[in-house]
Amino acid sequence: MDIKAYIESGVIESYVLGIADAEEAAELQRLSLEYPAIAAAIKEREQWLREFSEATGRPAPDGVKDQLLQSLNKEFAVTPGSIHFINRRFKFIAAASLLALLVSAAGNVYLYKRYTKATDDFIALQKEQVQVLADNQAYQARLTAFDHDLKIMSEPGVIKVLLAGVTGKEGSLATVYWNTHSRDVYLMANNLPPVPSGKQYQLWALVDGKPIDAGIISDCASFLCHLKQVTGAQAFAITLEKTGGSATPTLDQMFVIGNVKS
């Protein structure tokens, strides 16, 4: 018996794919016990089919096999003298066709997965570019604000007043930039404790020995907070007041104070 020719005849493929008739299946099972090469070929085809099924994870649509067999059956005329040969040839072509269909499906699944991954990678890259652009715009805005603040601090007539922490609050620190020409007051909160709920920091200017409201310190758009205009200040101080500020400073809630140096 030509074992190689038998293995290449398509009978094993028909058997594995479930389209071999009872006679062919019985013959193949008998020969697999007698010839190790045939048994090995069966295991090889079955292993390939399992790996392919696991890789694609999607069975062929219902009726595909029957439709394929019906289509192939029309292509061959069966006569009494050639029915066995044509049946074997038909089985081989059917098996080969089904294998080709499965391989094609595997290729489509592979290409689809590659396409999906490429699409996901492209979308992720777009999101990354948008984020980089947003970060760059934020940095540019901060640089612009910082440049603006530097110009304010370096304008003619601006006096820098360092406000140091009072007793018990030595770690607190703030800086006032007071433009004596325009009378505008700017504050940099270098190191002030977080504000409790319902409270706000308030800046005071000491003018002729009396505390004058210089503005509520809230979230600032830049490093410097632009507060109220002040004339003739001898000192500045910051207290913690109720939200909205107070008409007079709460002295036991003073955090920092500093004298204006002439």
Query: For the segment 122-157, what is each residue's pLDDT rounded down to a tens digit?
Result: 788 878 888 888 878 777 777 777 777 788 888 999
Q: Are 182 and 229 in contact (CB under 8 A)?
A: yes
pLDDT at position 67 = 59
Beta carbons within 8 Å of 252's beta carbon, 6+ residues apart: none
Contact 29, 11 (CB under 8 A): no
pLDDT at 143: 75
Which among 187, 199, 210 has a CA at the least distance from the CA of 256?
187
- Percentages of the chain per state (helix, strand, coil), in multiples of 5: 50, 25, 25
Q: What is the pLDDT of residue 135?
A: 79
Where are the domains positioned within the chain? Answer: 3-111, 158-259
The predicted structure's pLDDT at residue 96: 59
Q: Coil, strand or helix: which one is 33?
A: helix
pLDDT at 172: 95
The predicted model scores a pTM of 0.49
Q: Is 185 exposed, middle or buried (0-12, 13-18, 19+ CB in 10 A)?
A: buried
Taken in order 133, 136, 138, 140, is the CA torsion positive or negative?
Answer: negative
pLDDT for residue 85:
47
Q: Which of 178, 199, 204, 201 is nearest to 191 (CA)?
A: 201
Regions of the chain with pLDDT less than 50: 57, 76-83, 85-86
Give the model confidence (pLDDT) of 188-224 as tens digits: 988 999 999 999 999 999 999 999 999 999 867 667 8
Rounded distance between C-alpha atoms, residue 8 and residue 12, angstroms: 8
* Cα gap 241→214, rounded to integer Å: 13
- 186 CB burial (10 A radius; 0-12, 13-18, 19+): buried
Q: Give the end-to-end CA distance of the chain in Å, rounded to a whole number.
A: 117
**Residue type present at position 198:** G
- CA 143 distance to own-chain centroid: 28
Token code pair at residue 196: 């409790």
- pLDDT of the residue at 178: 95
